[in-house]
Structure 1
Amino acid sequence: MIGVTGVLNRIQELQGQLGLTPVNPAPGATGTVSTNGSTALGDSSFASALAGATGGTGTIKLNNQASGSDVVDAAKKYLGTPYVFGSTDPDKGLDCSALVQRAYSDLGIKLPRLSHEQAKAGTKVDSLAQAKPGDILAFDSPVDHVAIYLGDNKMIAAPKPGDHVKIQSVYEKPTHIRRVVSDFAALPAQNVASVRPASLQGSGSLPGVPYGDLFVQAGNRYGVSPKLLAAVAKVESGYNPQAVSKVGAQGLMQLMPSTAKGLGVKDSFDPEQAINGGAKLLSRNLREFKSLPLALAAYNAGGGAVHKYGGIPPFSETQAYVPKVQKALAALGG
């Protein structure tokens, strides 16, 4: 057995022979972090390297685990945002292609800015009957409008000036349908687990931990360690489902109201909803950053801040938060 490292080295050799960009994962950027601080190369690193070496010809991109339902959820966060032509700032407004770009960007997926460019992204879907949630629908020739398909002949779009981001029927036949992400949610559970580092997968039990069963259920549902969820709740709220922070974060997992809404959490004070929301958010962060410390930093400060600073943001709260959760996780045996 030559191991993952040996395979990666061999891939680098092949890439050099073929004139391709070498695979050289940045330390700590794609590995899984163990409780003793060491870094091990995770499954996602191997998949990313393999995809790069083969030109990404596989049927599933293992280095990008976002699903179509994740794209839909990301887009729904912007419901009600005014249409403003040329704007990419949701605080000011979004146009149709900015909405599409933003939803994918929130999942760590880069798309072109313009609608006619987005109509060439990913892979072709032949018809609306074959479309899946998260696919990009493009209209007219030349393309002048894009939307995100929701399923059941519905889409989410920023339609026109004077309107806002909303859900509407697919009112005409799209000229292009593009699939950017593979729907991991549709894969068998064992296949989903195989593309996640084992240390971050859900399983096990938490005897003696408040709401332990809920952490286990949510962890298994979203592929996140129940012990990690419990550690986050410990640091965030001390397991108090009625906790409210000075900035308005609520419940066991201390979700901000806007974040909770985007995660589909209707009541952050309900332990089950809060834990599911926190699990969903952590799952997204782990997929995006492929690093436990960065995923935790994004949970505390937001993914945008992690991207902006290229690591754990230089905020005193976040700098203290990450080791606190890691310490709580270690205390739980995680």
Structure 2
Amino acid sequence: MSMVEALGRIQSIEASLQQLAERPVPASSGSVTPVSSSSFASALNSALGTADASAPVDMSRMLAAAGSTTSATAPAAPVATGGGATGDAVVAAAKKYIGVPYVWGGTNPAVGMDCSGFVQRVFKDLGVDLPRVVSDQMHKGSPVASLAEARAGDLLVSYGGEHISIYLGNGKAIDAPVPGQTIQIRDAWEKYSNLTSIRRIVPSGGD
């Protein structure tokens, strides 16, 4: 049960106790004593460490406490390194998807992928976790100063983060271009247009 569900359950129980407290207790009930909602709230606040145990239950305080506990105990998501993956391995993994159609928002090679979905899939195949969209992918890894220094497996980001491809070396790149086309190898056209950045995610491969 989640914290929100638990708090909802507490509120439901408190309401039920309020109804029971207002109902007369039959003589045959023996030693059974009704519990008032205020007693319940008092005990709950006391358990939470509230100075005034008679104060109303502070649900926002409970949620804030639950949130701080979650953030304090949840481990940071590790960034996978690929366990020895290289630029050459990136190239080999990328070429497996040649011919897959471009589908905007696509991440499934059985249906189609867009440019960033393709890049994410290739690196995932090698055990490297990358974000889903170009605007996040373009900040991963280390920067490469120029296309002349790019190596196989590097990411080429263009148009301010609107497109991304994988450099193959020798002036070639592979990407999911536009609707109506398929993942393909072509000239690294970014060098003729708006090359925004180059990122190296894994150790470089050959030229």
Decide: shared fold, TM above 0.5. yes
**1:80 pairs with 2:99:** yes
Q: 1:145 aligns with which of 147, 151, 163?
A: 163
Whichever residue aligns with residue 108 of structure 1, its letter is G
Q: Is the 8 A contact 1:64 1:181 kept in 2?
A: no
CA contact (8 A) 1:78 1:90 kept: yes
Deviation at 1:153, TM superposition (A): 0.7
Structure 1 equivalent of residue 108 of structure 2: 89
CA distances 1:162-182 after superposition (whole Å, capped 9, x unpaired): 000000101133211000001
> Residues 122 and 180 of structure 1 are in contact (CA less than 8 Å); yes or no, is this contact kept in structure 2?
yes
| Structure with the larger helix share | 1
Using the alignment, how far apart are the partners of 2:197 and 2:141 within structure 1? 11
Alignment of structure 1 residues 113-152 onto 2, 5 Å: 113-141=132-160, 143-152=161-170
**8 Å CA contact retained: 2:104, 2:179:** yes
The answer for the alignment partner of 2:203 in structure 1 is: 182
**Amino acid corresponding to residue 198 of structure 2 in structure 1:** I
1:67 aligns with 2:86: yes
Q: Aligned residue for 1:252?
A: none
CA distance in 2, matches of 1:151, 1:122: 18
Specify the code of the residue in structure 2 equivalent to 1:162: G
SS of 1:150 mapped into structure 2: strand
Larger Rg: 2
Structure 1 consecutive aligned stretches of length 4 or more whose deviation exceeds 3 Å: none
Secondary structure at the counterpart of residue 100 of structure 1: helix
Partner SS, residue 108 of structure 2 = coil
Q: Which residue of the partner structure matches residue 126 of structure 2?
A: 107
How far is the alpha carbon of 1:144 from its aligned partner? 0.5
Q: Work out which structure has the larger RCO, using CA pairs closer than 8 Å and 6 or more positions apart in sequence.
A: 2
1:98 to 96, 114, 117: 117
Q: CA deviation at 1:161?
A: 0.3
1:95-144 Cα offsets, whole Å, 9 max, x none, are 00011000000001000000111111100000001000000000012x10
User: Greater strand share, 1 or 2?
Assistant: 2
Deviations 1:3-62 (A, max 9, x none): xxxxxxxxxxxxxxxxxx99xxxxxxxxxxxxxxxxxxxxxxxxxxxxx9xxxxxxxx7x
What secondary structure sits across from 1:137 in the alignment? strand
Give the secondary structure class of the aligned counterpart of 2:189. Answer: coil
**What's the secondary structure of 2:190's corresponding residue?**
coil
Q: Which amino acid aligns with 1:73?
A: A
Match of 1:163 in 2: 181
Equivalent residues of 2:116, 2:164 under 8 A apart: yes
- What is the CA distance between 1:64 and its match in structure 2? 2.6
Name the aligned partner's letter for residue 68 of structure 1: G
Gaps of 5+ in 1: 1-20, 23-51, 53-60, 187-334
Aligned residue for 1:56?
none
Report 1:1-334 matches (<5 A). Answer: 64-141=83-160, 143-173=161-191, 174-183=195-204
Contact kept? 2:123, 2:129, Cα under 8 Å: yes
The letter of the residue matching 1:106 is: D
Cα RMSD for the two superposed structures: 2.0
Opposite residue 116 of structure 2, the aligned amino acid is S
Contact 2:156 2:190 (C-alpha < 8 Å) held by counterparts: no
State TM-score, norm by structure 1.
Answer: 0.36
Q: Distance in 2 between matches of 1:135 and 1:121?
A: 11
- Alignment length (residue pairs): 126
Unmatched runs of 5 consecutive residues or more in structure 2: 1-73
Give the % identical residues.
47
CA distance in 2: counterparts of 1:178 and 1:124, whole angstroms: 5
